[in-house]
């Protein structure tokens, strides 16, 4: 079997789809013709004995290993009714069911299983409830024996064939899948379009040897000519200053070599100004002039002033109420002014923030904030009054660097001075003044903000307490968090993370042999809904000793200077918007970084469910503490919140 170009592939199967009246089934692409409906109908039992419109209460699939049952169910029309009383009801359509059998053939062929067969099906009905069982025989997959690149020589004196081959989703030795086949072609075309070849085309040919279960894939490039950016027009801007601002965000300029990725980067940067609700960057590829491509940028202004109100709930902060007023164009040039307020059991805050999204250069952002914050913990309340200046610079699509300076005054109240002050010693100063800088780097190449299935997220944060003038603290605080996401099969994702942290004091107080201090609220804590979930918030790690002060209460957390956390989650589909999670978290906090030891980690296994929403998953987790120490802590801990743990 062989083919050239995606157009012929899609045309052939579009005709077949029209003949079968399959409605929303996607283009079949590389799939071979499935069995005829009459042949498939004869392979099963009792379809003539059930009626259209009966509720589908159960759909079981047997014999599948290469593709998950959820992946198969997502590819067909027939759907089982959920187990919950509020679940959407689904009913049998016999005509669609027979077409579904053909769709399963196509699904397997698109994933390289050309020997797939439907062994049998069974439909049983009782009291209007239909139960369906499908028995499959997957057969052996077709493996890619060789990937050939033709015409991929040198560009600008650089031999790029080896580089491109390493980046291809389609690899020799892998199963022949349509997704990788097409993705590789698109990637190769994009590579040339990002090097000036605006009309580059990559032709695709593949040959499948059915008896050997092998395939050869060939990609041939027709790069065409090199083009440059021509005239750039901006439409929809309110005034000339807005148009000038739009132009400062462009990652390309007239006369520069055509690069498709620079167009996408420009669109993102314009949208991130916050001034426009729609941004369209259109290249006039249908009307090129000589070797130039003109570009039209159309923007639709957003509302200048916005009021936001929100209410949330979590097991840690209980009811959370927040509101803000935002001026998106404060004195023009996308300067922003925001006034916001927040109230919850753990935190109350009032703040005012000025932002300048384009400070000196397009990718450099500036923000200035003043805040009054009350933080309430089990053993103290602290009032923090201060100001922060912050800059953020986007180094690339995946990498952002930040720097900030904060000065604040901290005043503790509702604390047991007879315990906290002796426990923390000279570190507990009340009231105190704190000056510190924050330096950070964030890397994120994941495929989704809320529910990533692949890629990495990594953050490095360094905080330096500076004891100049009358400020009281001198310390270095370092935390590093790395999370990795890997989809092992359709809808099944393994997520893992590691988080080490350490605090080191340095020369700051001549009256204490040059030792610095660390404020209580900047110490390291563990436990909670985004930490080690078998512990309640901050309950893992060092605590005070009430017995030594003649008290009978439970010990309360005071944090430490060394931290290590890790965890792994298996995320899997349940049905509809529901997802399931099984996880193991581990971690601990130590008084001193030199004491950190993996042998001291506390492990807490657990499970949970997620309900997917547009603002992130609504999360319910339950975890068990395996350590038999600190018997006053609960053995099981429940968490309700929005968003994944990491």
Average pLDDT over residues 107-115: 93
Domain at 228-301: CATH code: 3.10.20.310
428-432 contact pairs (CB < 8 A, 24+): 428/520, 429/472, 429/517, 429/519, 432/472, 432/473, 432/519
Domains 31-137 and 358-642 share a fold: no
Question: d(Cα 324, Cα 338) in Å, to the nearest integer?
Answer: 7
Hey, how many other C-beta atoms are within 10 angstroms of the C-beta on 233? Answer: 12
| Residue 645 burial class via C-beta count within 10 angstroms: exposed 0-12, middle 13-18, buried 19 and up | buried
How many Cβ atoms sit within 10 Å of the Cβ of residue 621? 23
For 605-623, what is each residue's pLDDT tens digit? 999 999 988 778 899 999 9
pLDDT at 302 over 60: yes
C-beta pairs of 460-463 under 8 Å, 24+ apart in sequence: 462/438, 463/436, 463/437, 463/438, 463/439, 463/522
Please give the full DSSP string across 155-215, using - where no structure is assigned. ETTEE-HHHHHHH-SS-TTSB--HHHHHHHHHHHHHHHHTTT-TT-EEEEEEEEETTTTEE
* Two tokens, residue 580: 């399931």
Residue 37: pLDDT band by 50, 70, 90 thresholds?
A: low
pLDDT score recorded for residue 200: 92
Contact 438, 404 (CB under 8 A): yes
- Would you place residue 128 in the very low, low, confident or very high pLDDT band (cuts 50, 70, 90)? confident
CATH hierarchy code of domain 31-137: 3.10.20.310
Strand partners for 277: none
Omega within 30 of 0 (cis) for the link into 431: yes
CATH of domain 358-642: 2.40.160.50
Which pairs from 551-556 meet CB under 8 Å and 24+ separation? 551/416, 551/419, 554/632, 555/630, 555/632, 556/378, 556/379
Tens digit of pLDDT for each residue in 388-424? 999 999 888 889 999 999 999 999 999 999 899 999 9
Q: How far is CA 323 from the centre of its chain?
A: 26
DSSP code per residue over 240-293: HHHHHHHHHT-S--TTSBP-HHHHHHHHHHHHTTSSEEEEEEEE-GGG-BTTEE
Does the pLDDT of residue 239 top 80, yes or no?
no
Strands, E assignment, 414-491: 432-444, 455-465, 475-489
Domain ranges of the chain: 31-137, 228-301, 358-642
Q: What percentage of the chain carries pLDDT values higher than 70?
A: 92
By C-alpha distance, which of 281, 296, 163, 285 is closest to 224?
285
pLDDT at 66 over 60: yes
Where residue 337 falls among pLDDT bands split at 50, 70, 90?
A: very high
Query: In whole angstroms, what is the distance from residue 19 CA to residue 28 CA?
Result: 13
pTM summary value = 0.77
């Amino acid at each position: 079997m062989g083919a050239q170009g995606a157009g012929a592939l899609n045309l052939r199967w579009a005709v077949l789809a029209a003949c079968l009246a399959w409605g929303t089934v996607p283009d079949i692409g590389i799939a071979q013709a499935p069995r005829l409906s009459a042949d498939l109908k004869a392979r099963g039992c009792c379809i003539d004995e059930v009626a259209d419109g009966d509720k589908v209460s159960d759909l079981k699939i047997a014999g599948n290993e290469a593709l998950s049952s959820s992946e198969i169910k997502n590819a067909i029309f027939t759907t089982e009714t959920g187990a919950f009383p509020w679940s959407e009801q689904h009913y049998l359509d016999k005509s669609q069911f027979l077409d579904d059998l053909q769709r399963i053939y196509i699904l397997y062929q698109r994933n390289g299983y050309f020997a797939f067969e439907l062994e049998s099906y069974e439909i049983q009905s009782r009291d209007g409830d239909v139960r369906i069982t499908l028995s499959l025989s997957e057969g052996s997959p077709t493996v890619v024996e060789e990937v050939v690149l033709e015409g991929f020589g040198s560009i600008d004196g650089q031999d790029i064939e080896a580089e491109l081959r390493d980046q291809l989703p389609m690899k020799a030795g892998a199963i022949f899948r349509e997704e990788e086949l097409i993705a590789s072609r698109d990637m190769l075309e994009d590579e040339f379009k990002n090097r000036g070849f605006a009309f580059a085309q990559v032709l695709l040919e593949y040959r499948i040897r059915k008896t050997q279960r092998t395939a050869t894939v060939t990609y041939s490039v027709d790069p065409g000519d090199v083009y440059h950016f021509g005239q750039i027009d901006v439409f929809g801007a309110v005034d000339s200053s807005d148009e000038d601002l739009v132009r400062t965000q462009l990652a390309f300029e007239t006369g520069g070599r055509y690069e498709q990725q620079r167009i996408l980067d420009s669109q993102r940067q314009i949208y991130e100004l916050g001034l426009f609700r729609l941004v369209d960057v259109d290249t006039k590829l249908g009307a090129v002039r000589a070797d130039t491509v003109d570009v039209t940028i159309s923007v639709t202004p957003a509302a200048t002033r916005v009021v936001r109100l929100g209410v949330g709930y979590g097991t840690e902060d209980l009811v959370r109420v927040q509101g803000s007023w935002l001026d998106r164009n404060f004195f023009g040039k996308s300067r922003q002014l925001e006034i916001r307020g927040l109230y919850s059991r753990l935190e109350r805050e009032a703040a005012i923030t000025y932002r300048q999204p384009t400070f000196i250069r397009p990718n450099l952002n500036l923000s200035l904030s003043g805040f009054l914050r009350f933080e309430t913990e089990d053993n103290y309340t602290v009032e923090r009054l201060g100001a922060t200046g912050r800059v953020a610079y986007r180094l690339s699509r995946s990498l952002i660097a930040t720097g900030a300076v904060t000065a604040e005054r901290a005043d503790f109240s509702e604390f047991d001075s007879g315990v906290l002050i002796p426990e923390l010693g000279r570190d507990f100063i009340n009231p105190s003044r704190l000056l510190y800088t924050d330096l950070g780097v964030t890397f994120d190449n994941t495929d989704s903000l809320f529910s990533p299935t692949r890629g990495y997220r990594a953050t490095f944060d360094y905080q330096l307490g500076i004891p100049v003038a009358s400020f009281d603290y001198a310390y270095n605080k370092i935390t590093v968090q790395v999370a990795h996401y890997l989809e092992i099969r359709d809808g099944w994702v393994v997520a893992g993370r590691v988080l080490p942290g350490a605090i080191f004091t340095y020369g700051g107080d001549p009256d204490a042999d040059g030792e610095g201090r660390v404020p209580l609220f900047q110490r390291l804590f563990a436990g909670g809904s985004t930490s080690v979930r078998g512990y309640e918030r901050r309950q893992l790690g060092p605590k005070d000793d009430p017995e030594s002060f003649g008290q009978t209460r439970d010990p309360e957390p005071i944090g430490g200077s060394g931290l290590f956390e890790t965890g792994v989650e298996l995320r899997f589909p349940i049905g509809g918007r529901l997802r399931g999670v099984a996880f193991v978290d581990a971690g601990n906090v130590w008084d001193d970084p030199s004491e950190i030891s993996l042998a001291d980690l506390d492990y807490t296994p657990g499970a949970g469910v997620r309900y997917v929403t547009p603002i992130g998953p609504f999360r319910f987790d339950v975890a068990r503490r395996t350590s038999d120490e600190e018997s006053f802590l609960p053995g099981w801990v429940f968490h309700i919140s929005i968003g994944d743990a990491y």
